[in-house]
């Protein structure tokens, strides 16, 4: 049975409220046991910071969040373990539906493990999802969408009854784009963060404002592609 030890429970990040109760924690695996490397986080934008550190092995931080504990442990060619809490009863079943959707789009599925004595799960994310802030932003958003008490038979059947109002505009835009993980010019494989502005993408050495990476989620990629007619 898988176990999870959460230390420094008083730690927190500066976050705004989110439209879904799911919370995330990046963890380290040791046999059948997991230990947290971060505190619980509600905001998915912190995963963008994680992608930057995975590729550069440089510390980055925003809003009391620091990637320092991840150095040498979260790497672009290794799977990442994410413990989730605040999950609906249908979450495991709905995740299976998501995995069918991912298989259809020829990208890696998500392995789910149940933690002993807890209403929490550990997700194993393939290195594919650490390739870019686009990939991690899209997959974590899809995971969040599956965290509903409504049973999902098809991810594309998500609607206003299953997605909170605050997320509906994102979902509608994603469906309209119909790009999923297949971006034009394979941008999400060439660049681990991208704004379409010279010097602000795929740069391991250049200076940049941390907010550029932190806010470089899927909607930011869409905005940049539209501005630069990609």
5 found inside a domain: no
140 found inside a domain: yes
2 found inside a domain: no
Model confidence band, residue 212 (pLDDT cutoffs 50, 70, 90): confident
Structural domain total, the chain: 1
pLDDT digits (tens, 9 = 90+) for 6-55: 987 778 899 999 999 999 999 999 999 999 999 999 999 999 999 999 99
Rounded to 5 degrees, φ, ψ at 24 are -125, 150
Bridging pattern class, strands 3-5 and 33-36: parallel
102 found inside a domain: yes
Single out the residue of 181, 229, 221, 217 nearest to residue 62, CA to CA: 217
6 found inside a domain: no
Residue 203: per-residue pLDDT: 56
Q: Which residues does 23 contact at the CB level (< 8 Å), separation at least 6?
A: 40, 41, 42, 84, 85, 86
* Contacts by 89-95, CB closer than 8 A, 24 or more apart: 89/149, 90/148, 90/149, 90/150, 90/151, 90/152, 91/121, 91/146, 91/147, 92/121, 93/151, 93/152, 94/146, 94/147, 94/148, 94/151, 94/152, 95/143, 95/146
- Mean pLDDT over 172-181 rounds to 96
Name the residue with tokens 């594919």. 128
Name the residue with tokens 């924690």. 25
Bridging pattern class, strands 121-125 and 111-114: antiparallel
Residue 209: per-residue pLDDT: 73
pLDDT digits (tens, 9 = 90+) for 2-16: 999 998 777 889 999
As a whole number of angstroms, the distance between CA 230 and CA 222 comes to 9
Model confidence band, residue 206 (pLDDT cutoffs 50, 70, 90): low
3 found inside a domain: no
199 vs 166: which has the higher pLDDT? 166
96 found inside a domain: yes
- Mean pLDDT over 167-182 rounds to 95
Per the structure, the complete domain to which residue 25 belongs is given by 15-227
Task: Please say whether the beta carbons of 26 and 82 come within 8 A.
Answer: yes
Task: Please say whether the beta carbons of 64 and 12 come within 8 A.
Answer: yes
8 found inside a domain: no
């Amino acid at each position: 049975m898988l176990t999870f030890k959460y230390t420094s429970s008083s730690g927190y990040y500066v976050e705004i409220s989110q439209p879904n109760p799911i919370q995330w924690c990046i963890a380290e695996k040791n046999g059948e046991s997991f230990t947290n490397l971060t505190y619980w986080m509600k905001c998915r934008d912190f995963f963008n910071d994680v992608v930057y550190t995975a590729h550069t092995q440089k510390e980055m931080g925003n809003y009391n969040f620091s990637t320092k504990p991840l150095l040498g442990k979260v790497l672009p060619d290794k799977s990442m373990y994410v413990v989730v809490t605040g999950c609906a009863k249908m979450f495991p079943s709905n995740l299976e539906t998501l995995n069918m959707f991912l298989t259809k789009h020829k990208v890696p599925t998500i392995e789910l493990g149940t933690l002993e004595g807890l209403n929490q799960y550990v997700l194993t994310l393939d290195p594919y999802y650490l390739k870019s802030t686009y990939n991690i932003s899209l997959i974590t958003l899809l995971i969040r969408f599956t965290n509903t008490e409504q049973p999902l038979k098809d991810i594309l059947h998500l609607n206003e009854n299953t997605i909170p109002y605050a997320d509906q505009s994102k979902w509608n835009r994603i469906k309209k784009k119909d790009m999923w993980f297949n971006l034009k010019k394979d941008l999400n494989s060439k660049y681990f963060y991208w704004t379409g502005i010279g010097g602000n993408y795929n740069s391991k050495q250049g200076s940049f404002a941390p907010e550029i990476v932190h806010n470089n989620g899927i909607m930011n990629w869409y905005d940049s592609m539209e501005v630069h007619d990609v």
